[in-house]
Amino acid sequence: MHLTEQESGTLELVAGDRVGLVDLEGATVGFATCFDVYFPELFAAMLHHGVDIVLSPSYQRSEIAERLRYMSQTRAVDCDAWFLRSSYSVGDPDRAGRSLIVAPDHRRYRTGSQVRQTPLTRAA
């Protein structure tokens, strides 16, 4: 849906025209990167496709942390699925970051500043 200059330029990603879903051991997994959480239509489409889990990696740097938490909870309800948001954590605890897991009924299951750090590599 939304690509940053870094994503479309350096990483050479292109915006898609359909919901990205994969089957992972019987669970339907959807993806929402960073700014995608601002588009409820994406999550309505995921609900239509029966998504079970939404993975949402993010690098939002200036958003208020509480807004990110509320949006994550709202998107979990929108698509009736587990919502897993991973983000960086630095500096001001009231800004950005906010890795968390939200249950389909909007309850925060887990929050944390870092569970595991994994280097990203481009798949061959």
The pLDDT tens digits along the chain (124 residues) read 667 777 778 888 787 788 889 999 999 999 998 888 888 999 999 999 999 999 998 877 677 878 888 889 999 999 999 999 888 766 666 666 678 889 998 776 656 655 556 666 665 4
Q: What are phi and psi of 99, to 5 degrees?
A: -70, 135
**How far is the C-alpha of 88 from the C-alpha of 100, rounded, in Å?**
11
Contact 107, 93 (CB under 8 A): no
